[in-house]
Chain A
Amino acid sequence: MNSFFSQEIPISWYLLLSAVLFSLGVAGFLIKRNLITVFMSIELMLNAVNLSFVTFAHQWHAVKGQIFVLFVMVVAAAEAAVGLAIIIAVFRARATLAVDRIDLMKL
């Protein structure tokens, strides 16, 4: 028990998890039609990146990676606030959140 917990998880696992999360985020970003889901996919990608940042920070004993994570979280929070506001505004204007319908820029 003790030895199980004291054993380090290999770094590749963390990275693999990060890659899987990121790919899921990309897939959701591309496939999903609902704007909120697309938005959540972006958050997923950001957190996947965060995970690889802290992994490497731990691996190389460098604190920079952790600081980066803090920055990414702050930016993500700000982005979430702005993004949600935009989504609400879009919904009020168009009464829909389907990404394919929001195509006013089309020629």
Chain B
Amino acid sequence: MNTPLHLWLIPLLPFAGFLINGILGRRLPKWLVSTVALLAPLAALGVVLNAASGLFGIGPSLSSLPYVETCPLPWINIGTLHIDFSFVLDQLSLVMLLVVSGVGFLIHVYSVGYMSREEGYARYFSYLNLFLFFMTVLVLAGNALVMFVGWEGVGLASYLLIGFWFQKNSAADAGKKAFIVNRIGDFGFLIGMFLLLANFGTLTFSEICAQLGANPGWQGGVLTVTALCLLLGAIGKSAQLPLYVWLPDAMEGPTPVSALIHAATMVTAGVYMIARTHVLFDHSPFALGTVAVIGAATAIFAATIGLVQNDIKRVLAYSTISQIGYMFLGCGVAAYSAAIFHLVTHAFFKALLFLAAGSVIHAIGGEQDLRRMGGLWRKLPVTFAVTTVGVLAIAGFPPFAGFFSKDAILYAAYLHGPSGRALWFVGVVTALLTSFYMFRLWYLAFLGKPLGEAAPHHSTPWSMLGPLLILALLSICGGWIGIERSGGWINIERFSSFLAPAVGAKAAEGGSAGLEFRMSVAAVVVAFLGWYIAHVFYQWRPSRRAEFAASLSGPYTVLANKYYVDEFYRAAVVKPLLAISTYFLGWFVEKALLGGAAWLLGGLALFTGALLQRWQSGNLRSYAAWLAAGAAAVLLFIVVPWSAFLANFGFHLNVAGH
């Protein structure tokens, strides 16, 4: 692959879109804003597709990956520290780029319809393009610092878009919450980078990989600490326990934003980062185990909260947290390719579900409460159909996308040593819960009696239906990229063997096609069970639901209040911080120490001024007298041999040049 791929165009095109719409958008006509906003990601997608042409059998093959593109000017060059602005295209970043630019473009198209009646149309698209710019920088980054630039940038874009309706207090607060919680994770990322610099002397991923490859015996120790710091960053960005609290609130943003940033791409950056730095985790079993435990715990934790949420977007938000927990679980059992596979399929079906939810919300005039929906299937047939596809995909029914990727993760977890069975069990229970709450959403929103005045106000434009249909197609077929027919039985290793050069391949000990098949059957049974329970509760005998909730009122209240985690954080972190800020920092440091010091200095200046102002008598002869006295003093100083005089008393003047 000697022809230049012009990777730098991929981030820069959306950035140009951001500049044009951000600076001029207010004065441009709407159609021009839309054109610019759509052309930028479309062109970037074109560059990506050109780079990926080997995948489709046309153009040069991908065997020469990784392909590195470095900015000719050095970025940081201090002493022994050399950091370049470099982009790397390998199998991992290629897959991620395809998802980001592909799903990103579809969501841009959808936004044209969804946001058409909103104030700040150009502002919205400039932010969206800015997000694509930073996300592609993050994905293409060849070293940790470039990745950090993208990492912070997507955080900024996320903040701006969550708070898009900034006149609404809750939206502004949600933006701030997302930004502040992410700071905790970014702190971990930064410390991790410093540790990398201290121990490897470089931040370039390939060099770190090479150094670790040369030292296979280097295990644990500082690598564990580094990996855990990076993991903290990933937890913050990917909304895992215990830093997940910002994601449900981030649903205050426009729904396409939730689909793009808070479901398909940005929140999966943590998974991508772990896959990118996987060599560190491979050399630290403890860090890897932590990833798995956090992933499994988050998956089931968020799924249980999702069971009882009534806001359609919040159900999807908790579902996202739970699904990213799956990806972390996959990373934690060193099945990085399975995690990335799930990332891809999840991007398809979760973006689809969010966009479908947006279509519902759009159609019935901003209502998000599931309890006030119902019977919408007749009025929104296309949305109903694509949501059904999305629900089947996330619940794990074959042959939809989610089935293959979730199965790959659970299979890898099952084979992962003695603790793997426990992780697998948690994953299966989560799959049951997932299936249940997704069908609950489906029944509540689309089936049953039409409730209230949830009559469609607006028809759904084609700019919204088109992306929905394409994503629905991808949610059906997206999982098939992982399988190929080989020797009569399908081989599910295609995706992982494709990614193997970038993330390594793990030999699955004790695996067999028979076991794989039995586990797939178990997963499908679990998915059916989830559907059946939802069917009983929400379709067949709705009265059973109230009885059941009443019999479990304790756990139900806990779940409905999201385990009181927000309340706990408020009491344990926010309130003490506020108290410290008010009383210690505000009163003691600010008022007493700083205020006192300023008062003291001011008083001193006033006092000396009051003394010295007597000098400025305004009397000409007084000035003249002081002038003469000064001249006399200087003369005296020059004429009298002071140094000799003082030397008698043991003083020695240090005269310059002496």
Residues on A lying within 8 angstroms of B by beta carbon are 26, 29-30, 38, 99-100, 102-107
Q: Is the CB of B624 within 8 A of A104?
A: no
Q: Is the CB of B621 within 8 A of A100?
A: yes
Q: Which residue of A has the minimal Cβ distance to B628? A: A26
- A102 and B617 alpha carbons, distance in the complex (Å): 11
Chain B residues with CB under 8 A of A102: 620
Q: For the complex, is B80 an interface residue (Cβ under 8 Å from A)?
A: no
Contact of B618 among A26, A29, A30, A103 (CB under 8 A): A103
Q: Which residue of A has the minimal Cβ distance to B627? A: A29
Q: Is the CB of B624 within 8 A of A106?
A: no
Q: For the complex, is B58 an interface residue (Cβ under 8 Å from A)?
A: no
- A102 and B337 alpha carbons, distance in the complex (Å): 93
Q: Which residue of A has the minimal Cβ distance to B619? A: A103
Q: Is the CB of A106 within 8 A of B617?
A: yes
For this complex, 18 residue pairs linking A to B, each with C-beta atoms less than 8 Å apart, are: A26-B628, A29-B624, A29-B628, A30-B621, A30-B625, A30-B628, A38-B620, A99-B619, A100-B619, A100-B620, A103-B619, A104-B618, A105-B618, A106-B617, A106-B618, A106-B619, A107-B613, A107-B618
B629 to chain A, nearest CB (A): 10
Known: A30-B624, A103-B617. 4 other contacts (CB 8 A): A38-B624, A104-B618, A105-B618, A107-B618
Q: Which residue of A has the minimal Cβ distance to B614? A: A107
Chain B residues with CB under 8 A of A38: 620, 624
Would A99 and B621 be within 8 Å (CB), given that A26-B628, A107-B613 are in contact?
Answer: yes
Q: For the complex, is B616 an interface residue (Cβ under 8 Å from A)?
A: yes
A7 to chain B, nearest CB (A): 30
Chain A residues with CB under 8 A of B628: 26, 29-30
Chain B residues with CB under 8 A of A99: 619-621
Chain A residues with CB under 8 A of B619: 99-100, 103, 106
A104 to chain B, nearest CB (A): 7
Q: Which residue of B has the minimal Cβ distance to A106? A: B618
Interface centre among B613, B616, B618, B620 (most CB of A within 10 A): B620
Chain B residues with CB under 8 A of A103: 617-620
A93 to chain B, nearest CB (A): 15
- A100 and B625 alpha carbons, distance in the complex (Å): 13
Q: Which residue of B has the minimal Cβ distance to A104? A: B618
A49 to chain B, nearest CB (A): 12
- A80 and B613 alpha carbons, distance in the complex (Å): 31
- A37 and B617 alpha carbons, distance in the complex (Å): 22
Chain B residues with CB under 8 A of A29: 624, 628
Chain B residues with CB under 8 A of A100: 619-621
- A106 and B619 alpha carbons, distance in the complex (Å): 7
B614 to chain A, nearest CB (A): 9
B74 to chain A, nearest CB (A): 57
- A105 and B620 alpha carbons, distance in the complex (Å): 9
- A100 and B619 alpha carbons, distance in the complex (Å): 6
- A106 and B614 alpha carbons, distance in the complex (Å): 9
Q: Which residue of B has the minimal Cβ distance to A99? A: B620
- A21 and B390 alpha carbons, distance in the complex (Å): 108
Q: Which residue of A has the minimal Cβ distance to B623? A: A105
- A71 and B616 alpha carbons, distance in the complex (Å): 32
Chain A residues with CB under 8 A of B616: 105, 107
Q: Which residue of A has the minimal Cβ distance to B617? A: A106
What per-residue 1/0 map shows which CB atoms of B593-618 lie under 8 Å from chain A?
A: 00000000000000000000100111
- A15 and B621 alpha carbons, distance in the complex (Å): 27
A36 to chain B, nearest CB (A): 13
Q: Which residue of B has the minimal Cβ distance to A32? A: B621
Chain A residues with CB under 8 A of B625: 30
A51 to chain B, nearest CB (A): 18
Chain A residues with CB under 8 A of B617: 103, 106
- A103 and B102 alpha carbons, distance in the complex (Å): 83
A107 to chain B, nearest CB (A): 6
Q: Which residue of B has the minimal Cβ distance to A29? A: B624
B353 to chain A, nearest CB (A): 79
- A104 and B618 alpha carbons, distance in the complex (Å): 7
- A107 and B615 alpha carbons, distance in the complex (Å): 11
Q: Which residue of A has the minimal Cβ distance to B618? A: A106
- A104 and B616 alpha carbons, distance in the complex (Å): 11
Q: Which residue of A has the minimal Cβ distance to B625? A: A30
Q: Kindly list the 3 A-B residue pairs having the minimum CB-CB distance in the complex, ordered from nearest.
A: A106-B618, A105-B618, A103-B618
- A100 and B624 alpha carbons, distance in the complex (Å): 12
B375 to chain A, nearest CB (A): 88
Chain A residues with CB under 8 A of B620: 38, 99-100, 102-103
- A100 and B620 alpha carbons, distance in the complex (Å): 7
- A92 and B621 alpha carbons, distance in the complex (Å): 21
- A74 and B628 alpha carbons, distance in the complex (Å): 24
- A104 and B619 alpha carbons, distance in the complex (Å): 9
A22 to chain B, nearest CB (A): 10
- A107 and B618 alpha carbons, distance in the complex (Å): 7
- A106 and B616 alpha carbons, distance in the complex (Å): 7
B577 to chain A, nearest CB (A): 51
- A18 and B278 alpha carbons, distance in the complex (Å): 92
Q: Which residue of A has the minimal Cβ distance to B621? A: A99
- Of residues 443 through 481 on chain B, the ones whose CB sits less than 8 Å from some CB of chain A are none
B267 to chain A, nearest CB (A): 69
A72 to chain B, nearest CB (A): 17
Chain A residues with CB under 8 A of B621: 30, 99-100
- A99 and B618 alpha carbons, distance in the complex (Å): 11
Chain B residues with CB under 8 A of A107: 613, 616, 618
Q: Which residue of A has the minimal Cβ distance to B631? A: A26
B549 to chain A, nearest CB (A): 84
Chain A residues with CB under 8 A of B624: 29-30, 38
A52 to chain B, nearest CB (A): 14
Chain B residues with CB under 8 A of A105: 616, 618
- A104 and B624 alpha carbons, distance in the complex (Å): 16
A106 to chain B, nearest CB (A): 3
Chain B residues with CB under 8 A of A106: 617-619
A24 to chain B, nearest CB (A): 13
B340 to chain A, nearest CB (A): 79
A23 to chain B, nearest CB (A): 10
A27 to chain B, nearest CB (A): 9
- A39 and B423 alpha carbons, distance in the complex (Å): 102
- A26 and B630 alpha carbons, distance in the complex (Å): 13
- A38 and B620 alpha carbons, distance in the complex (Å): 10
- A73 and B249 alpha carbons, distance in the complex (Å): 85
- A104 and B617 alpha carbons, distance in the complex (Å): 10
B573 to chain A, nearest CB (A): 57
- A29 and B625 alpha carbons, distance in the complex (Å): 9
A91 to chain B, nearest CB (A): 15
A34 to chain B, nearest CB (A): 12
- A38 and B619 alpha carbons, distance in the complex (Å): 14
Q: Which residue of B has the minimal Cβ distance to A42? A: B624
What per-residue 1/0 map shows which CB atoms of B623-641 lie under 8 Å from chain A?
A: 0110010000000000000
B625 to chain A, nearest CB (A): 6
Chain A residues with CB under 8 A of B618: 103-107
- A107 and B609 alpha carbons, distance in the complex (Å): 13
